């Protein structure tokens, strides 16, 4: 049985001879023309008519994808899913995302470059190339330049190929059979895997103890000895000697306006900004029932659902005084509290505060309905 032919190879003794032969052999169009040389030769890819590698494009796409992925992840985490204001900065502070974007760009790009080259373009795992089993390989890895006509798809016309190579000046012609792929024996494979695993373990273990035993080798020493502020520690940096400092006077938390009104009289001028729609009243009712009703009663008449142990007496908000109370004064009590009534500034949003003021008006009017209300 004759082996299937992979290629006919011929050797040249100089790069120039090889380059001169390439166009002559290619002109015969007998098969794929491939060169094997001891070192890269300028211009050979043009002579062989090789296309530009698509790897650059693949890496470009992967890099952009990496940057976009990092940007998307960080935007999603810090502006959508778990928004936390840090140092008063906007939630989507893209400048802070750049390092991770850079890292994912590099990560995606290098993995694509490495794996794309090895697996896609070089078609690994590829255990044995026919040329590696040839006699010519000894010359190719030293000082000879080989030109091969390889069968592309169909059968190769060995005689025509040999004649073409010889005509172009090749010597030491050789016919290479198709290599039968031979995966490495299992024990060889498992031995390499074991070797890599043991090396990793040993390297990791040595690194672990190195860092554990010598954590402050220079230049790390300087980082540990630098002047810095430790929580609860004294500090010479500030006049009062404390490491921890209150925010600068006048600091305003993002999303909260300071409440500067000091007295109920001042608050009386405030105007309820919400319209009296049923939606707003529904919201006010929810707040009332959840927050205020326990003390002031479901109807606002000052009958609490609390035991006498509570001690204080919640105001009867159905009383004349409170029916004539301006909205702003009620709002003020919710903001700052009064005696036994705690402040609800932190528990309710501004809309909820004004909505419950509207709802209190509804309760008052319902309990003090006049004849005109029926019309
Ligand atoms: C823990 C019980 C408690 C809760 C809950 C409570 N209050 Fe009060 N509230 C009181 C007490 C006690 C007073 C009487 C304070 C005083 O005059 O000493 C009072 C007084 C008031 C007054 C009269 C203030 C004044 O100027 O005399 C208003 C208005 C008021 N509450 C509204 C509300 C609203 C609205 C809510 C729900 C957001 C609420 N309260 C939740 C206990 C409570």
What are the pLDDT digits (tens) for 240-263?
Answer: 888 888 888 888 877 777 888 989
Whether 7 and 148 share a structural domain: yes
Whether 25 and 173 share a structural domain: yes
Whether 31 and 178 share a structural domain: yes
Is residue 244 assigned to a domain?
no
* End-of-domain residue from the set 148, 182, 216: 182
* Percent of the chain surpassing pLDDT 90: 57
Q: Does the pLDDT value for residue 1 go beyond 50?
A: no
Whether 116 and 6 share a structural domain: yes
Measured from the Cα of 288, ligand 1's closest atom is 37
Is residue 321 assigned to a domain?
yes
pLDDT at 242: 87
Measured from the Cα of 321, ligand 1's closest atom is 27
Give 118-134 pLDDT, tens digit per residue: 888 877 776 678 888 88
Domain span at 141: 1-182
Q: How far is the CA of 260 from the centre of ligand 1 (A)?
A: 20
DSSP string, 242-303: BSS-PPPTT---TT-------SHHHHTT----S---HHHHHHHHHHIIIIIHHHH-TTSSS-
* End-of-domain residue from the set 182, 216, 241: 182
Which residues, judged by CB distance below 6 Å to any ligand atom, belong to the binding site of ligand 1?
264, 291-292, 294-296, 312, 314-315, 317, 330, 333-334, 338-341, 344, 356, 360
Is residue 240 assigned to a domain?
no
Is residue 140 assigned to a domain?
yes
Q: How far is the CA of 352 from the centre of ligand 1 (A)?
A: 16
Q: What average pLDDT does range 282-298 have in this prediction? A: 94
Q: Does the pLDDT value for residue 116 go beyond 80?
A: yes
Is residue 201 assigned to a domain?
no
Higher pLDDT, 122 or 341: 341
* End-of-domain residue from the set 133, 158, 182: 182
Total domains in the chain come to 2
Whether 280 and 136 share a structural domain: no
Whether 156 and 11 share a structural domain: yes
Is residue 188 assigned to a domain?
no
Whether 147 and 278 share a structural domain: no
* CATH number, domain with residue 316: 1.10.760.10
Q: Closest Cα to residue 363, out of 325, 310, 329?
A: 325
Q: Does the pLDDT value for residue 2 go beyond 60?
A: no
Is residue 50 assigned to a domain?
yes
Q: Does the pLDDT value for residue 52 go beyond 90?
A: no
Most confident listed range (24-28, 67-71, 177-181, 294-298): 67-71
**Cβ contacts of residue 139 below 8 Å, gap of 6+?**
11, 146, 172
Average pLDDT of every residue of the chain: 89
Higher pLDDT, 61 or 53: 61
Is residue 233 assigned to a domain?
no
Q: What average pLDDT does range 168-196 have in this prediction? A: 83
Structure tokens of 139?
Answer: 């010359």
Q: Does the pLDDT value for residue 184 go beyond 60?
A: yes
Give 192-241 pLDDT, tens digit per residue: 899 999 999 999 999 999 888 887 776 666 666 777 777 888 888 888 88
């Amino acid at each position: 049985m004759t082996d299937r032919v992979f290629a006919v190879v011929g050797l040249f003794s100089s790069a120039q001879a090889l380059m001169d032969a390439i166009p002559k052999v290619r002109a015969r169009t007998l098969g794929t023309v491939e060169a094997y040389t001891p070192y890269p030769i300028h211009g050979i890819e043009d002579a062989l008519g090789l296309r530009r590698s698509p790897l650059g494009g693949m890496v470009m796409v992967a890099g952009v994808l990496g940057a976009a992925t990092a940007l998307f992840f960080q935007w999603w985490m810090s502006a959508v899913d778990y928004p936390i204001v840090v140092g008063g900065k906007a939630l989507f502070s893209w400048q802070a995302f750049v390092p991770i974007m850079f890292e994912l760009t590099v990560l995606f790009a290098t993995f694509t470059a490495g794996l794309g080259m090895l697996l896609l373009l070089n078609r690994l795992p590829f255990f044995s190339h026919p040329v590696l089993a040839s006699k010519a390989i000894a010359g190719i890895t030293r000082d000879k330049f080989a030109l091969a006509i390889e069968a592309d798809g169909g059968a190769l016309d060995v005689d025509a190929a040999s004649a073409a190579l010889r005509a172009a000046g090749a010597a030491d012609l050789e016919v290479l059979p198709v290599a039968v792929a031979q995966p490495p024996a299992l024990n060889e494979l498992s031995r390499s895997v074991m070797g890599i695993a043991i090396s990793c373990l040993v390297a990791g273990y040595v690194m672990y103890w190195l860092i554990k035993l010598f954590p402050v080798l220079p230049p790390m020493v300087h980082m540990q000895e630098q002047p810095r502020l430790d929580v609860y520690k004294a500090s010479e940096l500030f006049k009062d000697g404390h490491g921890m400092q209150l925010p600068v006077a006048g600091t305003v938390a993002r999303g909260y306006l300071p409440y500067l009104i000091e007295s109920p009289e001042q608050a009386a001028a405030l105007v309820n900004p919400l319209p009296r729609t049923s939606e707003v009243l529904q919201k006010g009712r929810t707040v009332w029932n959840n927050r205020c009703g326990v003390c002031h009663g479901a109807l606002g008449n000052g009958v609490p659902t609390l035991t006498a142990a509570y001690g204080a007496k919640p105001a009867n908000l159905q009383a004349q005084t409170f029916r004539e109370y301006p909205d702003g004064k009620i709002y003020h009590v919710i903001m700052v509290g009064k005696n036994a009534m705690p402040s609800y500034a932190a528990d309710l949003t501004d809309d909820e505060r004004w909505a419950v003021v509207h709802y209190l008006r509804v309760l008052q009017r319902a309990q003090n309905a006049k004849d005109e209300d029926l019309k």
